[in-house]
Structure 1
Amino acid sequence: MSFYTSLSGLQAAQTELSTVSHNLANVSTNGFKKSRTDFADVIASSIATDPTKLVGSGTVVKGNRQQFGEGNLKTTGSSLDLAISGDGFFAVKTAGLNATTAYTRNGAFQVDPATKSIVDAQGSALQGYPVDTKGNATATGSDGLITLTLAATSGTPAATANVALKLNLYAAASTPTPAFDPANAASYNSSTATTIYDSSGKASTLTNYYVHTGTNAWTVHSYVGDTALSVGGSTAGTPVTFDATGNITAPTTPVTYDAFTPTTGGVAQTLAFSLAGSTQASSAFSVNARTADGSAVGELAGVTVNGQGIVAANYSNGDTVNLGKVALANFANPTGLRQTGNSYWSASGISGQAALGGANESGFGSLLSGTLEGSNVDITEELVDLIAAQRNFQANAKALDTASQISQTIFQIQG
């Protein structure tokens, strides 16, 4: 009987050694939760056995219980590195044909370059809820979950049709001697550069060159890129005149250029240029006001996640679009979750079904962006447990050896 008692001790110690080794192997795994091996004694008895004479029959492993204490939080600076301070798990949809919902504390997410979805290192997509323009969730429960996906662009492109500049031209400016040439800075007095857009939202530059041609008289030459804009087929420039007090007298209405095709693409467009309100004075050349319509398509420039879990995409045209709210899951009995690898857990009959919600709601922790939760393994504690498990194994091995020696002595007596 002592053989089996010692054998059960050896098996139990070996299981504990495996558990501690697994903990130590994952000391650097983000979101990893350590396990603890629990044991129970084995007693063989019957109603006829004197309870004062019972002898134990060894030990048995009752289970490896996961410890869901929070790991150390590490600041990374990446907005898609997320950590939950408190209770809760991220919900992710695993990749592949047999996609399922898994739960994790590893918040190292990134944007998939192909799908623009927010995914983890395994390609599983972060789940959340759709939101309105104010960031309020518009769905709840497991049926309301969506994959958080970033749109590559934002906004509707519109070609620029109107440009207005309010200038002050220097009254005492000299009259350039060379014939006007945009490549020769000596052939004009001043210039302005204004960003305009074609029909596809691509930007180009409208450059206006101002040439002093005489008392209270100027000529404006306009170019888009290297293309000279014409009026009525002529590229001679637009005359601009002022009265003796420096107020503009011509042109009194916007100058409409002939249709041109931008080198950036898009369809041919016309452009109206206004100098209303411009002046000529003894002060230096200046641009006092500038307006231009049209709009570009914003390219994805970045993504942020706030403390409420609202994921917002930022675009190059200044648009900020709320994409959704990160969903968090919690369980009545987290220790009953089934480990599936890759820092994933799945629900089981012991854990119960997931209760879903959001950051800072009742039963859920807060969400930190730019932070990762490390493993909750304490190396010092695990090394002490490793030594204890090793001693337990050695002690049971010694007990087994002693039982073997006693048996051998009995065999020799019988011989």
Structure 2
Amino acid sequence: MSFYTSLSGLKGAQTDLGVISNNIANVGSIGFKKSRAEFGDIISASPLQSGNVAGQGSQLKDISQQFTQGGFQSSDRALDLAISGQGFFVTKNASQLSYTRDGAFQVNDQSYLVDGNGNQVQVLPVDTNGNVTASGIGSASAIQIPQTAGQPKATQNLNLSVTLPSDADLPSTRSNYSSTIPYKFDRYDSNSYNYSSATTIYDSAGNPLQATLYYVRTATPSAGNSQTSTWQAHLFVGDQEASADGNVATSPPQPLTMTFDSSGNLTAPSGVTTFSQVLPSGSSSEVALSATYGVNTRQIASTFTPGTVTQDGKAAGQLDNISVSAQGLITATFSDGSTKKLGAVMIANFPNPNGLRQLGSGYWGQSGLSGEPIVSAAGTGSAGNIQSGALEEANVDITEELVSLISAQRNFSANAKAIETANNMTDTIVNLRS
């Protein structure tokens, strides 16, 4: 019988070695929880038995997981999450829910928040203020990160100003003007205009377009002539020039004429100039602009200086940032300055976490021993807080595991020695007859 007693000890030591080796192998696994082999003795007893009896070895009672808190490692990603306290993240693959402490999440090609295995992270719904509106496992839902926010708006009005030099010359092609070689503006010929400035506008779909103004001096004050100066402004939207008379049929398009008095003050245009509609390449619709030059538009002895340009169009806001609060509230920030509350990360607790069924890769599944999940937002009830920009390390103390490994190895050797001793005793008894 001593053979079988020692054999049970060998098997137990071998199991203990396997559990410890698994702990050591996963020391670098995010969210891993170490296990511990638990043993009990085997006693053969009956109702009529009296006194103490010799044991018959040991047996494996349980391999218990230790759900103690692991340390945190910092990360530069807002979607790397760690739970400080109790609870599990909830993920879903097809119809199966699973639970994990590994919070290395990312956005997939369909803009869903998923874990490293492609399982969708489950969240609780929230209102516009970020308050949770429903609880329970039945309210779990996947979260899709919006890439845009708001509606685009086509630019209709430009408000601008410019400072034009009073000593600017006529463009070379104009000074070479003759009855046989007429002046011709060409935006690709820098000699045919004095200055240019550009700004970004938007079509009705929010596509950005470049609006460029080319300034051409057409007349300078001279003795015996009016002391006024005149300029022309050619407005191009993309590759198309808009006509200042508002008529799409005008060919070639008419530039805007700007007049300055002897003091450099703008005398014309005095109000809003409505340009003709144009359809530049890359635009989803026609663009119709109105331009207003402000009081800061002057002609003085200075360098050419385009002033501040404001326009009333905009593109749809593009996703700029995602943040996660300690309560698990996911907030998206967009390039237009708007924000949107998307949901609260769901945290699940169990009456008996040790009863969870291990699924591998840092996942657990519900079982009859674990009880029903207790679902809440982070920081409420028994759920821990969430730390963004961090990941939970394995709760394995490598020094402790190495000591346990030595102890398990000694236990194995001792049981092997006991079998060897029992074998020697048997040999001695068998050899007595000889």
Alignment TM-score, normalising by the size of structure 1: 0.92
Contact 2:195 2:214 in 1 (8 A): yes
1:310 aligns with 2:337: no
The answer to whether the 8 A contact 1:222-1:228 is kept is yes
**Contact persistence 2:124–2:377 (CA under 8 A):** no
* Counterpart position of 1:373: 392
User: Which consecutive unaligned segments of at least 5 residues does structure 2 have?
Assistant: 175-184, 221-227
Correspondence for 2:286 among 249, 262, 268: 268
SS of alignment partner, residue 14 of structure 2: helix
1:145-175 residue CA offsets vs partner (Å, 9 max, x unmatched) = 1101112332222221211113333344343
- After superposition, give the CA deviation of every residue in 1:223-281 in whole Å (9 maximum; x if it has no partner): 11232222331424110123445443222232222221121131223211111434315
- Cα contact 2:259–2:267 (8 A) shared by 1: yes
Q: Map of 1:53-202 to 2, 5 A cutoff? A: 53-94=52-93, 96=94, 99-113=95-109, 115-179=110-174, 180-202=185-207
Q: How far does residue 16 in structure 1 lie from its aligned partner after superposition?
A: 0.6
Q: Deviations over 1:158-209 (max 9, x none)?
A: 2212111133333443433334432344443333212111122110110112
Relative distance call for 1:133 and 1:255 in structure 2 (3 A) is same
Among candidates 329, 353, 359, match of residue 340 of structure 1: 359
The more displaced of 132-141 and 27-36 is 132-141
Contact 1:160 1:198 in 2 (8 A): yes
1:5-64: CA deviations, max 9, x gaps? 11111111111111111111211111000001111122223344342x421211111111
Match of 2:237? 224
Give, as a single letter, the amino acid of the residue that structure 2 aligns with 1:75.
S
Q: Which residue of 1 aligns with 2:217?
A: 212
Do 1:217 and 1:241's aligned partners in 2 also have CA atoms closer than 8 Å? yes
SS in 2 for 1:11: helix
Please give the secondary structure, in 2, of the residue aligned with 1:56: coil
User: C-alpha separation between the residues in 2 aligned to 1:221 and 1:355?
Assistant: 68
Aligned to 2:134, the other structure's residue is in SS state coil
Task: Determine the C-alpha separation between the residues in 2 that align with 1:131 and 1:263.
Answer: 43
What whole-Å deviation, never above 9, does each CA across 1:342-380 have from its counterpart, x for those lacking one?
A: 110112232221111122223122211121111111122
- Distance in 2 separating the partners of 1:8 and 1:359: 45
> What amino acid is aligned across from residue 308 of structure 1 in structure 2?
Q
Distance 1:414 1:47, change over 3 A: farther
Equivalent residue for 2:430, pick from 408, 411, 414: 411
Q: What per-residue deviation string (whole Å, max 9, x for no partner) do you get for residues 282-336 of structure 1?
A: 3544444422122213344443323332223344444433221111111222222
**Does 2:250 align with 1:251?**
no
Contact 1:216/1:243 (8 A) holds in 2: yes
SS in structure 2 of the partner of residue 296 of structure 1? coil
Q: Is the Cα contact below 8 Å between 1:189 and 1:209 reproduced in 2?
A: yes
Which runs of no fewer than 5 residues in structure 1 stay unpaired? none
Q: What is the aligned partner in structure 2 of residue 11 from structure 1? A: 11
Question: In the alignment, is the contact (CA less than 8 A) between 1:128 and 1:327 conserved in 2?
Answer: yes
Residue 217 of structure 1 deviates from its aligned partner by 2.1
Go from structure 1 to structure 2 and tell me whether the alpha carbon gap of 1:281 and 1:271 turns closer, same or farther (over 3 Å shift): closer
Asked if the contact 1:167/1:277 (under 8 Å) is kept, the reply is no
Distance, in Å, in 2 between the alignment partners of 1:265 and 1:414 is 108
* Distance (whole Å) between structure 2 residues aligned to residue 264 and residue 132 of structure 1: 38
Provide the aligned length of Structure 1 versus Structure 2. Answer: 410
Distance (Å, rounded) in 2 between the aligned partners of 1:407 and 1:169:
115
Q: Whose radius of gyration is greater, 1 or 2?
A: 2
For the residues of structure 2 that align with 1:257 and 1:329, how far apart are their CA atoms? 61
- Contact kept in structure 2, 1:242 and 1:279, CA below 8 Å: no
Deviations 1:114-156 (A, max 9, x none): x210111111011112222222222221122110111233222
Q: Residue 44 of structure 1 corresponds to which residue in structure 2? A: 44
| Structural RMSD (CA) | 2.1
Change (3 A) 1:406 1:32: same
Q: Helix, strand or coil: the match of 1:273? A: strand
Does the 8 Å CA contact 2:260/2:299 hold for their aligned counterparts?
Answer: no
Distance 1:261 1:225 in 2: 9
Please say if residues 252 and 276 of structure 1, whose CA atoms lie closer than 8 Å, have aligned partners that are also in contact. no
TM-score (normalised: structure 2): 0.88
- SS of the aligned residue for 2:138 comes to helix
Task: Check if 1:237 corresponds to 2:233.
Answer: no
Tell me which residue corresponds to 2:178: none
| Residues 1:298 and 2:317 are matched in the alignment | yes
The one-letter code sitting in structure 2 at the alignment partner of 1:199 is S
1:292 and 1:265 mapped to 2: Cα distance? 17
